[in-house]
Amino acid sequence: MKRGDHDRCGLVGEEHNKLLGYLAAVSRKLDEPLAVVVQSSSAAGKSSLMDAVLDFVPPEERVSFSAMTGQSLFYMGGRDLRHKVLSVAEGEGAERASYALKLLQSEGHLTIASTGKDGVTGKLVAHEYTVTGPVATFLTTTAIDLDEELLNRCLVLTVDEGREQTRRVHGSQRSGQTLAGHLARRDRERLVRLHRNAQRLLLPLLVVNPFAESLSFSDGRTRARRDHMKFLTLVRAIALLHQHQRDVKLVEHEGEKVEYIEVAASDIELATQLLADVLVRPDDELPPVTRNVLTGIETFVAEGATTANIQANEVRFTQRQIRERLGLGHTRFKMHMRRLEEQEYVVVHRGGRGQVRLYGLAGGDWSPGGRLPVAHRSPPGGAREGSRDSSGSPPFQEVGAPDRDCVNGVTEKNASYRT
């Protein structure tokens, strides 16, 4: 996929989200596909993001619903979902089906036994219904609190709700009213058709990662077990997308010939870059949307500390200041602030009856935003040319670790933040 193809189809910005969504759709060809939840406030563009990604998937390889009942997935026995994309327009519409979605994502199939009348005798008999996967899942939601068991099985993509993104959207909307915009819509049909045909050429080949045993991943919490698998699956999806640029290898195992392609080092590097802001620190219990709010607060405080030449934990702010800075609505922002207070990321310094409530960041060291807790070691067979520095360091270093001497332009000598 060329950079800019989604822009030409009307979806501007969201560069990482578009590519992650596209790769998640490609992962449907794997034996353990990815699942994606797109989370944002109302009218922020979550449905536009999902629709733009799924437009590039052939219609015969995707199944879309506006809502699902609790048992609906179990009774789709006559429908083959293998290597397809299942999308539900709103997460609230899938709440009742969350148990089935979790099973389908984890086990790759669903089976249910139900009683019904025999067509000949009229007696009640047991019928078995089976839905076969694997299937890639896409959901969108405006909810801040999601089913944690479903959430930790998914990549959670948060839509850019900043002012710059709004300006980009407005520019695209205005451009669409011009002659060039109308002609671009004609080109869109050709581009979508091209991508769908390219996707039809993808085969569900076996993908082997020769670097797998040379990788390490954070093991601080049990959640890292699933996060680790998401990372490895994304690496395989990137390799699978490039299957026609890779040598297809052949091995014979117990009399059976097996075709496969291999992961390249560049696939690992790209996956690490894409997931750096999606998989958060292992000690982080904040939902991604609340983590984004905290990152915005940290940036605001860092700028204030630099301007006033004071320590970051001396900076005070009001909810209104941050709300206007981030462009968030009052109700949703209060929910985020309540969670940040409860988990002691922010503290209240003043705010009695008739007084403006002032907040500050809790003390302690911090690093802005979540970072992918993965470190790469030397791949087997030695490093690539030019990949080691003069000290002989391995080509893959810990990715996403913040510079301990400088965070957002504020040195640790001048700032103190909570991790």
- Give the per-residue pLDDT at 18: 86
Tokens of 154: 């998914």
Whole-angstrom Cα Rg for the chain: 24
The residues that bridge with 368 in the sheet, in sequence order, are none
Give the tens place of pLDDT for each residue, 125-135: 887 777 777 88
Q: Does any domain span residue 271?
A: no
CATH number at residue 300: 1.10.10.10
What predicted TM-score, i.e. pTM, was given to this entire model?
A: 0.72
**Last residue within a domain, chosen from 185, 201, 217:** 201
Q: How far apart are CA 207 and CA 261, in angstroms?
A: 5
Same domain, 192 and 294: no
Q: Does any domain span residue 193?
A: yes
Q: Does any domain span residue 263?
A: no
Average pLDDT for 174-188:
85
189 or 390, greater pLDDT: 189
CATH number at residue 118: 3.40.50.300
Q: Does any domain span residue 71?
A: yes
Q: How far apart are CA 245 and CA 343, in angstroms?
A: 48
Same domain, 22 and 154: yes
Q: Does any domain span residue 38?
A: yes
Which residues lie below 8 Å from residue 39, measured CB to CB, with a gap of 6+?
46, 140, 141, 142, 143, 146, 156, 157, 158, 159, 287, 288, 289
Same domain, 180 and 83: yes
Q: Does any domain span residue 384?
A: no
Give the tens place of pLDDT for each residue, 187-234: 888 888 888 999 999 999 999 999 988 888 877 777 778 888 899 999
Q: Does any domain span residue 228?
A: no
> Is pLDDT above 70 for 352?
no
Q: Residue 60, class by beta-carbon neighbours within 10 Å (0-12 exposed, 13-18 middle, 19+ buried)?
A: exposed
Q: Which of 131-145, 367-381, 400-414 has the highest mean pLDDT?
A: 131-145
Same domain, 44 and 165: yes
Query: Distances in Å between the alpha carbon of 75 and those of 64, 68, 175, 202, 261?
Result: 16, 11, 45, 29, 36
> Is pLDDT above 70 for 96?
no
Query: Distances in Å between the alpha carbon of 117 and those of 73, 125, 129, 261?
Result: 21, 6, 15, 49
Same domain, 192 and 297: no
Which residues lie below 8 Å from residue 92, measured CB to CB, with a gap of 6+?
67, 141, 142, 143
* Number of independent structural domains in the chain: 2
Tokens of 222: 């049990």
Host H or E run for residue 284: none
Q: Does any domain span residue 225?
A: no
Average pLDDT, the chain: 77
Average pLDDT for 330-335:
82
Q: How far apart are CA 325 and CA 99, in angstroms?
A: 38
372 or 143, greater pLDDT: 143
**Last residue within a domain, chosen from 168, 201, 234:** 201
- Give the per-residue pLDDT at 240: 94
Q: Which of 33, 146, 160 has its CA nearest to residue 86?
A: 33
Q: How far apart are CA 303 and CA 256, in angstroms?
A: 63
- Range of 346's domain? 288-367+407-411
Same domain, 58 and 166: yes
- Give the per-residue pLDDT at 371: 43
- Give the per-residue pLDDT at 99: 74
Same domain, 78 and 174: yes
The SS3 of residue 59 is: helix
Same domain, 180 and 321: no
Tokens of 67: 């809502």
Give the tens place of pLDDT for each residue, 273-289: 888 777 755 556 777 77
> Is pLDDT above 60 for 406?
no
**Last residue within a domain, chosen from 176, 201, 226:** 201
Same domain, 164 and 58: yes
The residues that bridge with 359 in the sheet, in sequence order, are 317, 348
Tokens of 274: 């894409």
Nearest 5°: the CA angle 352, 290, 419 is 85
